[in-house]
Structure 1
Amino acid sequence: MNTSPLDLSGRRVLVTGAGSGIGRALALELAVRRCSLVLAGRRAAPLEETARLVTGRGGTARAVTHDLTSERGPEQAVEDAVRILGGLDVLVNNAGNVRAGALDEDIAAADIHAMVGLNLLAPILATRAALPHLRAAGAAHGHAVVLGIASGAALVGMPYYSVYAATKAGLARFDEALRRELWGSGVHVATAYPGGTQTPMMESSRAGADLGYGRRPVEEVVREIVAGVEAGEVDINTQRPERRELQRLNTADPLAVDAALAPSLAAMREAVRGHRSI
């Protein structure tokens, strides 16, 4: 773990899920620091658009298309990044998907496999493949980074997001354990916990601030995430104040959270049952 400030300027970066939302915004924030980026995801067109935007911000970018849920997709994305960039300083495990609803009635087994595959298994495999290159960068300059984009759902399990919460909590604990494993290596591991954010991933949800799902602009969230990494933070919480308060209550008295949410369960299910980005 590195508790001193980190310099991200000019780094070689792989961002997964960079075609839209938080991934695209992170790529643009890193472009301002003149990073060289490889942008990985399933669809070429949005990745190419992100690459064009990165160039306009002062960075360089190449798009590579991979299904990160395939057997070798994460490893191939890392191999492409290292080949293109000549090494790797930063891995951003951002790609993710969601399917909300009642576990036994709204969520198909295929949706469960899709969330576990992309939200948890893919970042673990990508990190495993990237580690030799990140260790080399950490030994050379001490500013290598693994950044996991988890979710506020990793901190407080919300009804109708049981599988999504499980995958994001798993990513957070993976990052935490890996950070301790890499102590003194020059590889810093950080986890970001965005709450509701204005991204295409959220467009199919009808839950709003009245149900605790107020959304922040993606650019604000990403600026806080990158600033947190540069400050050497390990847990970067960008949730709205009311969600942070719910997190505090959940730590002190989880049954009180159950009781507080109970009157809104029916409305919440109706609002989120169509939330799907798979």
Structure 2
Amino acid sequence: MNLHDRSILLTGAAGGIGRSLALQLAGHSARLTLVGRSGETLEEVAALVRERGSQAHVVAADLTEPGAAATVVAAAQERFGNIDVLINNAGNVRAGRLDAIEESEVIAQVTLNLTAPILLTRAALPALRAGGEGLVVNISSGIGLVAMPFYTTYAATKAGIAHFGEALRRELYGEGVHVLTVFPGATSTPMMASSKAGPEHGFQYESPDDVATATLAGIADDSLTVIRGGETRSQMIETNRTDPAAVDRLLAGRKDALEQAVAGHSSL
């Protein structure tokens, strides 16, 4: 897909990977609808987008609220007339033992990471189809490919959004809408600020700019997936497929230290 002058609806645009995507998309003279909870922070991103020669429209919305999907889609269409690309990037996390986190924290992750993007995609599909060359980009996680202890609910939502995208891609095959799923590894974003997990726990960090660059390259190539994490991640994915018990044993050796490192990890 050529992104020049495309109308792009981007969620979670205020920071992290979303902010990096917005600024890199600005280099394509895109028309961006930036969605997030903080209107003030979104306006700061929008100003940077405009400085780079693209248009930006800010929609402050809580995607977990009833009716939010329809409201956001309508706002994008009212401002730009169409929607060519939907990027489902907004997300949250709460790590810890499943029986130690609150029920509300489980629900919050499922609602924002899985339910909200499904409903937003559903609402945007008529507009995406209308252009004849629509695209849905779902930002999953490496934990959606190889599940990690103490991230049970997060892993469920990220695996869920990955399979949602795969199923939707096949459902829409030949109908003018493509679906790309992106699997970032550990990324230096505000969402990770409360985690103390590092390389010694198996978390190798990269910048949100690198994830955004890889995502745009995947869009340009009509890729099905973009998987970050390099050779180490690739090897673990393969081992998890062929010998998952070996991954169990590997992670068991890190379990106690990992539990302590991520006990306070929350973006809720």
Q: TM-score surpassing 0.5?
A: yes
Q: Using the TM superposition, give the Cα deviation of residue 73 of structure 1 relative to its aligned residue in structure 2, in angstroms.
A: 1.2
Q: Name the aligned partner's letter for residue 112 of structure 1.
A: V
Q: Deviations over 1:126-157 (max 9, x none)?
A: 0000000000012xxx3x11000000011001
Confirm whether residue 17 of structure 1 aligns to residue 7 of structure 2: no
The residue that corresponds to 1:124 in the other structure is 118
Shift of 1:243: 2.2
Which of 237-246 and 221-230 deviates more?
237-246
- Secondary structure of the equivalent of 1:63? strand
Of 57, 63, 69 in structure 2, the residue corresponding to residue 68 of structure 1 is: 63
Offset of residue 245 of structure 1: 1.6
Q: 1:136 aligns with which of 120, 130, 148?
A: 130
1:176 aligned to which of 157, 166, 186: 166
What's the % identity of the aligned pairs? Answer: 49
Please tell me whether residue 236 in structure 1 is matched to residue 217 in structure 2: no
Structure 2 matches for 1:158-237, cutoff 5 A? Answer: 158-237=148-227
Question: 163-172 vs 51-60, which deviates more?
Answer: 51-60
1:111 paired residue among 101, 105, 111: 105
Residue 91 (structure 1) aligns with: 86
Counterpart Cα distance in 2 of 1:212 and 1:60:
40
> What's 1:3 paired with?
none
CA RMSD between the two structures: 0.8
Matched residue SS, 2:58? strand
- Which position in structure 1 is the counterpart of 2:138? 148
Measured in 2, the distance between the counterparts of 1:190 and 1:96 equals 17
The CA deviation at 1:85 is: 0.9
2:54 maps to amino acid: G
Structure 1 contact 225–238 (Cα < 8 Å) conserved? no
Which residue number corresponds to residue 33 of structure 2? 38
TM superposition shift of 1:240: 3.6
Contact kept in structure 1, 2:204 and 2:229, CA below 8 Å: no
Superposed CA offset, 1:187-242 (max 9, x none): 11110000011111111000001111110011111101110111000111122432
Which contiguous aligned blocks of 4+ residues in structure 1 show a shift greater than 6 angstroms? none
Stretches of structure 1 lacking an aligned partner (at least 5 in a row): 1-5
Give the CA deviation at 1:60: 1.1
Distance in 1 separating the partners of 2:234 and 2:105: 28
Q: Does 1:101 align with 2:96?
A: yes
- Provide the C-alpha distance between the structure 2 equivalents of 1:254 and 1:195, rounded to a whole number of angstroms: 19
SS of 1:104's equivalent in the other structure is helix
| Pair 1:54-2:49 in alignment | yes
Name structure 2 gaps, 5 residues minimum.
Answer: none
Q: Distance in 2 between matches of 1:219 and 1:166?
A: 26
Residue 212 of structure 1 contacts residue 243 of structure 1 at CA under 8 Å; is this kept in 2? no
Give, in whole Å, the separation in 2 of the partners of 1:96 and 1:254: 27
Partners of 2:99 and 2:178 in 1: CA distance: 39
Q: CA deviation at 1:161?
A: 0.4
Shift of 1:87: 0.8
